[in-house]
Structure 1
Amino acid sequence: MFSRRAFLGLSAAALTAPAWPGFATAAAATPATFTLNLVDNSGSGTAYAYVTGTTSDNRLVLLAADGTPYYPPSPATTLTPLPVDCAIPVGSGRQVSVPRMYAARIYLVTDAKLDFFLNPGPALVHPSFLNSSDPNFGRNWSFAEFTFNDAQLFANISYVDFVGLPLGIALSTTSSGSQSVPGLPSGSASALAGELSAQGSNWSQLVQTSGGRPLRVLSAQHKADQFAGYLDGYIDQVWQKYATQPLTVDTQAVGAFTGRVAGDVLTFDNGESFTRPTTADVWSCDSGPFAIAQGASDARKAIIPRLAAALNRTTLLANANQPTGEDPAQFYRNAATNHYARIVHSKLPDNRGYAFPYDDVTPGPDFSGSVFAGDPAVLTVTVRGL
């Protein structure tokens, strides 16, 4: 399983990128650069792209408007405006050469440019979809993610944070074929907003509007306070079931482990144990028992994604052999489930795209929305209408 977290080296909402420990440890196998092909199908008439990431020696890098690498100096104060124009005009099509970088993003925006800022370090302050005082909050933007190192280019489109301006990606290579992820179609934010509002409860709280129409729809993890206790009934049933029968988790990497609940703690036969998660823990996949502490074993790092995925998809109660035997037709069938992820996947033409952080957990089919190759040639990112 190719992990978005492992390759990108940061969580979806992180504002700065830590070092990725697996970066640049062997002789170079990939080319020094790949071509980024930008396509504007938004119908807006104006679209810009921004490319930003971190080099192997931990320097912040962006591509300037002319496509050349730019390494910002550390500013004296926080929230210093980026001194160089890094808005790449897409126009009828634009190609730029991208050097190796990790924890990288390709931002696309229509109808206006984005404002980027620097903090001392330098650290890039990314556009915010949560802070209404951010100058980018009301603009139409989204991003794709990638890491390009000496082993391969790994890229994906992600709905882990929100659905906004729809993007699609495609990768051509020098000798290993082509891959593509079409992504959500135009108008998906409005469609998703309508279905979530019809779902009732607090799901309508995920919709952000501008000028009376949906601008973006947030993942439930960003409104976790609105869903306190939402999954309690389901999690209680899971804990009760596995107090009387075993649960097996195949890590698909370091073996399979069997667990039982005793004293309200799920403990596996390798010694790894998990307290009962809250709804917020499930939505984020990264808190409570699902937080990965420094020094965590490889087994724990592999069990956590499979437990979190099964709880987001509400299949853990029905299937005691995770993720073996998982049937995608049974995902999100429980009345209380991750309806944001359910509806996002229902809109995806090939069912591929990250709707929560561990959406790449699978018994076989790919749900993740990623493309990757050791011989990348051209990565095409297409922006569609909001």
Structure 2
Amino acid sequence: MLSRRAFLGLSAATAVTAGTAPLWPGFPQAAATPATFALDLVNSSGSGTVYAYVTGFAPDNRLVLLAADGSPYYPSSPSSTLTPLPVDCAIPVGSGRRVTVPRMYGARIYVVTGSKLDFFLNPGPALVHPSFLNTSDPNYGRNWSFAEFTFNDVQLFANISYVDFVGLPLGIALTSSAGTQSVQGLPAGSVDAVASALSGQGGAWPQLIQNGPDGRPLRVLSAHHKASQFAGYLDGYIDQVWQKYSSQTLTVDPQNGTGPFTGRVTNGVLTFNNGETFSKPSTADVWSCDSGPFAIAAGASNARKAIIPRLAAALNRTTLLANPNQPTGENPAQFYQNAQTNHYARVVHSRLPGNRGYAFPYDDVTPGPDFSGSVFAGDPQVLTVTVRATHA
């Protein structure tokens, strides 16, 4: 399986091999992408001051950004940490702006309203991205968000992610020879709505809200960034799941033609018929999808890489008690129905048009319909990113 996180890390030279099929259908196994695509930045935020930043890694693994004039800029390694970026890479958006983007991977399109962002370089060079967790970061109180993309010799893949937080609302659309795909993303004013819903949820959920300098909600964090506040939160549900599958078979379809795999819990360990074993995860493991039994170690089998996303997704959505055949038959209307569930993901999805967007890392696990916030094409022409208002 090729997850969103894995795809965004692929270099232009990386091949897609058998057994690592992506979660979405119609993935092109070979294509000749153009050398560049057009990025249209559309300002519907209500702010007259909007800047964008494009950063990633070139096919030769060099750090690359677009300068303010849209030209590629390859920073040199500085002599000390936290060296201010010496070239202005704040692309003024105004009411709209088009720039040309060359191939790059692990890339982001940052958008900020009201002021510029501060980027820094560490020796390497390594880019120091804006932080929403470090209160001493100059960008902490600013209103920004980002979309992610990888553009290599296979295709352009871009997505809207709420895996880290809900902030400045963005929408994306990708035009190719086949037409236009779009992910509308959260509508204007969604930060207030998500913050209000989680405040009403009580418990630790209101602690996910970060207020801006004006005292209004600026962003809402995903629960994995406050994992210590949720210690034991899912224990009761996970205990029920482990008890259920000590006497009933769990079936997981890897959706790559190599399964399905069947598993039972014995002596507290979920063991599949291919030999893969999983200890009982903690709430933090479920929220992050990449710690404890969900960590993917070097040399992990393709089977394990396929099982982990489907277990993690079902636990975030709290559907494992109801559905022993994952992800076959999964229905978005049945997601997040347990009292103890990922309410951050529940609230975010309740506001997403078409239910499309990543609220946790494996939110693209699906029995068929696309729940993800991704667009992709082997012949990309124009990627449009639309910025909406934070507050209604």
The equivalent position to 1:171 in structure 2, one of 146, 170, 174, is 174
Paired positions, count: 377
Residues 337-356 of structure 1 aligned to structure 2 (within 5 Å): 337-356=341-360
Matches within 5 A, 1:1-386: 3-9=3-9, 22=14, 29-173=32-176, 175-210=177-212, 211-253=214-256, 254-386=258-390
**Aligned-residue RMSD, C-alpha:** 1.5
Unaligned stretches of 5+ residues in structure 1? 10-17
Q: What displacement does 1:328 show?
A: 1.1
User: Cα offset for 1:22?
Assistant: 2.1
State the Cα distance separating 1:19 from its structure 2 match.
5.9
Tell me how far apart the structure 2 counterparts of residues 281 and 88 of structure 1 sit (CA, whole Å): 38
Structure 1 counterpart SS, 2:387: strand
- Cα offset for 1:3? 2.5
Q: Does the aligned pair in 2 maintain the 1:24–1:149 contact within 8 Å?
A: no
- TM-score, structure 2 as length reference: 0.94
Offset from partner CA, 1:27-74 (integer Å, 9 cap, x none): 870000000000000001110000000011110000000000000000
CA gap of 1:146–1:23, structure 2 versus 1, over 3 A, is farther
Asked whether the 8 Å contact 2:58–2:104 carries over to 1, the reply is yes
Contact 1:23 1:149 in 2 (8 A): no
Contact kept, 8 Å, 1:106 with 1:145, in 2: the verdict is yes
Deviations 1:182-240 (A, max 9, x none): 00011101110000010011100000001210000000000000000000000000000
Shift of 1:176: 1.5
Separation (CA, whole Å) in 1 of partners of 2:275 and 2:173:
42
Give the Cα–Cα distance (whole angstroms) in 2 for the partners of residues 21 and 340 of structure 1. Answer: 36
Structure 2 residue ranges without an equivalent (≥5) = 18-28
What is the DSSP-based 3-state SS (H/G/I as helix, E as strand, rest coil) of the residue aligned with 2:263? strand
Instruction: Give 1:295's aligned amino acid.
Output: G
User: Aligned equivalents of 2:382 and 2:12: distance in 1?
Assistant: 24
**2:172 counterpart SS class:** strand
Query: If the length of structure 1 is used for normalisation, what is the TM-score?
Result: 0.96
CA distance in structure 1 between the aligned counterparts of 2:148 and 2:69, rounded to whole angstroms: 21
User: What SS class does the counterpart of residue 118 from structure 2 fall into?
Assistant: coil
Separation in 2, partners of 1:29, 1:277: 42
**Aligned partners of 2:308, 2:16: CA distance in 1, in Å?**
27
CA spacing shift, 1:21–1:221, aligned 2, 3 Å: farther
Please say if residues 24 and 56 of structure 1, whose CA atoms lie closer than 8 Å, have aligned partners that are also in contact.
no
Kept in 1, the 8 Å contact 2:12–2:153? The answer is: no
- 1:317, distance to aligned residue in structure 2 (A): 1.0
**Residues 158, 27 of structure 1: alpha-carbon distance in 2 compared, 3 angstrom cutoff:** closer
Deviations 1:152-183 (A, max 9, x none): 0000000000000000000001x212100000
Question: Identity of paired residues, percent?
Answer: 79
Alpha carbons 1:23, 1:56 under 8 Å: kept = no
TM-superposed CA distance for 1:327, in Å, is 1.3
